[in-house]
Amino acid sequence: MRKLGIIIFLLHSIAPAYGQLSVVGFKSDRAQTVDLLQTGNPNYIFCFPDKKDCASIKVRSAAKGVTKTVGLVLEYFDRNSSGAFMYSAQLPEQLPLREDVARVSAKLYTNNVEKFIVILSSGERWLAKEFVIASTGYQPPLYSYLATWDSSDGHDLAELKAFAHGQISLLYFPRDKNKPSEFILGELVMEEYYSHQRTHVFSWLDSIAGNYHSDLSMFDQYSQWSLDRLRDGVIPSFEVFGTREGHLSGLIEFKDNGVPFTETELVNRFVHKLLEKYPFYSERHLNKTLLLAKLDTLLYSGASKNAAWQYSALRAFIETEFQDPHFGITLPRNDTVAAVKSARLPVVVRDIAGVPVVVAVFNEGIKKDVTLGSKIVAINGSALNASTRDHYDLLLRRRYDTLQMMLESTPGDIRTVKIPLDKPISIDARFIPKHGETKLIDDSLFYIKFNNWEGDNFYHILNNRKKIIASQGLIIDLRGNGGGYAGDAYASLSLFLHQVVNLGTVVFPWLKETITITPARDEFVLPASLKVVILQDAATACASEMFIIGMKKRPNSYTVGDTNSRGAIASPTLYTFPSGLTIKAHTTIRCYRFDPAVYQEGTGLIPDVLVARTHVRDMRPYEDKVLKVAAVLLQH
């Protein structure tokens, strides 16, 4: 799960305690929001899922007799008004004055629309931007900074007030002029959106920063912010508040500010602090005391080594001991290990009945030597056995140009195959699941594939609502989906729920709050009678797991998979250092807690229907046994 925000550490000393670190944060702010449609009268009743009222503007006037300025803009974009539709209105008296931070945002519904152009004009002076529409239906929120717009004279846009009392025009172009089209505006606003500095609030870093601060002002801000949200009919959340106000940062940057210091000492001390604050020792069955002792031994033995050795050793320690996808180290780009080619592997390895086997080969030159279903005995000389917790990691390291695999294709027939990693490969399209892919299975079941939660899954479900309702059941494929934005998962859940649901609890150092999901508007919520099956695998994690936890509280919803989900729900922070070293970690600053009978960190979610796979053909994209079981489940 990801967040926004930056905190920068300015290092002013090379004292053993790293001197008095000046800590500066950033928060995002909106100012001077102006409704660009306020001078136009709503002409259409059309509801948007995140808008209280249904007053909208439908663009339906043919673009005939356009003004000279609009004509110049169309010529600039190599367009003409033939077949286009247009809306225009007078601009408000006041516009945001800071052109460098002004942006336009819009809420749209489109059908059979290829592109549209927004134009701000005053006389023959204009600002314009062309936007491409990729799909039909409700569009994800659109944001565009005016600094990126084209202008009539290429001037450095210094004063937006020059366009006050001017004209706003919007023209859209149907994809197929011979078919009906729709373009509905729910919102079109201009606002100043910028980041500015704020004080540090990560108290647990005070021992490094050498500063003291009080949390009282934060509590006061949250109280007032909460009351404002409640007046707007929105349940407040400290997570939303903290992310927006910079109290819960997604990125922290250590900067030397031109003052030399010993980075390795800072990194070592910082990693030690992260181990102290790691929140899941119990759930992941880890011994905190033992791991801290191992780290101390490692740091002591590496004190005389160079930075590259120390960082590589720390990375290996964290990978081996924690095996947590939200806790790890990315080495500087100039490191020999980090510089290894990042191309895809020419083979795919998976567990079949507890045995690592080859399930796909993409290098044509080795297909005759690597039989599908061959058992992997060793990789680069390292034997694989039942005690190997993550044997695929040996493949992913790719430290050499050639991968040596010892394979057993039939009992007793063991051979070593050398697989070049520097040769181009051609990956069968079947092995690259398309995000947002939809299809009908057996002409009756609606299937949709989500590879991530990047903000558009809510709209994929919403825009396929009629097709989903018309089907006999819905299959949501979350296999391989390691997460993304929790907000997308929460919004998607609101389309399935008919009552308020408590997903779990977020625990902060200062307070606790429930994760509360409220249903979407009645006209958008899917029927409770709809049967839903969610597909999961070992890579299903984070926001995907949160979505499943919520769906388990809904009737007629089930999960099908061949293993538990990943068991990794967190909101990690990225810490970067001048050398390029990056540490990803989550701490007790924020922990997610759920019903242990449903989910446990490190264990994951047990599928309602557990499917055994005993042969390569059981895998996707071959026969895909898991998908077939889901289909049978929905048809009964």
121-146: pLDDT as tens digits: 888 889 999 999 999 999 998 999 98
Of all residues in the chain, what percent carry a pLDDT higher than 90?
50
The pLDDT of residue 629 is 97
Q: What percent of the chain has a predicted confidence (pLDDT) above 70?
A: 85
Phi and psi of 98, rounded to 5°?
-85, 95
Are the beta carbons of 508 and 237 closer than 8 angstroms? no
Mean pLDDT check: name the lowest of 60-69, 175-184, 302-311, 381-390.
381-390
3-state percent helix, strand, coil for the chain, nearest multiple of 5: 25, 30, 45
Exposure pattern of 311-334 as b/e (b: 16+ CB <10 Å)? bbbbbebbeebbbbbbbbbbbbee
Q: Hey, is 57 helix, strand or coil? A: strand
**332 vs 312: CA distance, rounded Å:** 10
The 3-state secondary structure of 78-120 reads CCCCCCCEEEEEECCCCCCCCCCCEEEEEEEEEECEEEEEEEE
More confident residue, 393 or 306: 306
Q: Give start and end residues of each alpha helix (H) in 471-610.
A: 486-494, 543-551
Stretch among 26-30, 195-199, 447-451 having the lowest mean pLDDT: 195-199
Q: Set out the domains of the chain in order of their start, with CATH numbers.
A: 32-194 (2.60.120), 347-420 (2.30.42.10), 432-568+604-634 (3.90.226.10)
Write out pLDDT tens, residues 432-444. Answer: 889 999 999 999 9
pLDDT in tens, 319-377: 989 989 999 999 987 544 433 344 567 888 888 888 888 999 998 888 888 989 999 88
Which of 190, 187, 158, 259 lies closest to 33 in space, CA to CA?
Answer: 190
Enter the DSSP assignment of 600.
B
Sign of the Cα pseudo-torsion (541, 544, 550, 553, in order): negative
> What is the per-residue pLDDT across 221-276, written as a single tens digit (0 to 9) for each?
899 999 999 998 889 999 888 877 777 777 777 766 665 667 888 889 889 989 99
Q: What is the pLDDT of residue 545?
A: 98
Mean pLDDT of 516-525: 94
R_g of the chain, CA atoms, integer Å = 28
User: What is the pLDDT at residue 17?
Assistant: 44
CA distances from 236 to 225, 241, 495, 505, 516 (A): 8, 8, 20, 14, 10
Residue 64 has, within 13 A of its CA and on its CB side, a CA count of 3
Q: What pLDDT does residue 393 have?
A: 55
d(C-alpha 141, C-alpha 186), whole Å: 11
CA dihedral 622, 625, 626, 628 (to 10 degrees): 100
262, 210, 258, 243: which is closest to 19 by C-alpha? 210
* Segment among 293-302, 380-389, 500-509 with least mean pLDDT: 380-389
Burial of 571 (0-12, 13-18, 19+ CB in 10 A): buried
- Give the HSE-up count for residue 19: Cα atoms under 13 Å, Cβ half-sphere: 15
Structure confidence at residue 139 (pLDDT) = 95
For the ranges 7-21, 279-293, 328-342, 536-550, the lowest mean pLDDT is seen at 7-21
Distance in angstroms (rounded) separating the CA atoms of residues 532 and 557: 5
- What SS3 state is found at 306? coil
Please check the confidence at residue 510 and state whether its pLDDT lies above 90: no
- CA–CA separation, 68 and 628 (whole Å): 60
| pTM for this prediction | 0.89
DSSP string, 148-217: GSEESS------GGGGTT-EEEEEEEESSTTS--EEEEEEEEEEEEEEEEEE---GGGHHHH-----SHH
How many Cβ atoms from other residues are within 10 Å of residue 555's Cβ?
Answer: 10
Strands, E, within 458-522: which ranges? 473-477, 501-507, 512-517
What's the whole-number average pLDDT of the chain? Answer: 85
Q: What would the pLDDT profile of 177-219 be if each residue is shown by its tens digit?
A: 999 999 999 999 888 887 765 555 566 665 665 555 556 678 8
CB contact at 8 A, 541 and 568: yes
Cα separation of 254 and 257, whole Å?
9
User: Helix, strand, or coil here: 20?
Assistant: coil
What is the rounded distance in angstroms from the CA atom of residue 376 to the CA atom of residue 86?
63
- Mean predicted confidence (pLDDT) in 149-177: 81
Residue scoring higher pLDDT (101 or 61): 61
The CA-based angle 12-15-19, given to 5 degrees, is 45
- What does the pLDDT average to over 6-16? 39
Q: Give dist(CA 432, CA 364) in Å, integer.
A: 18
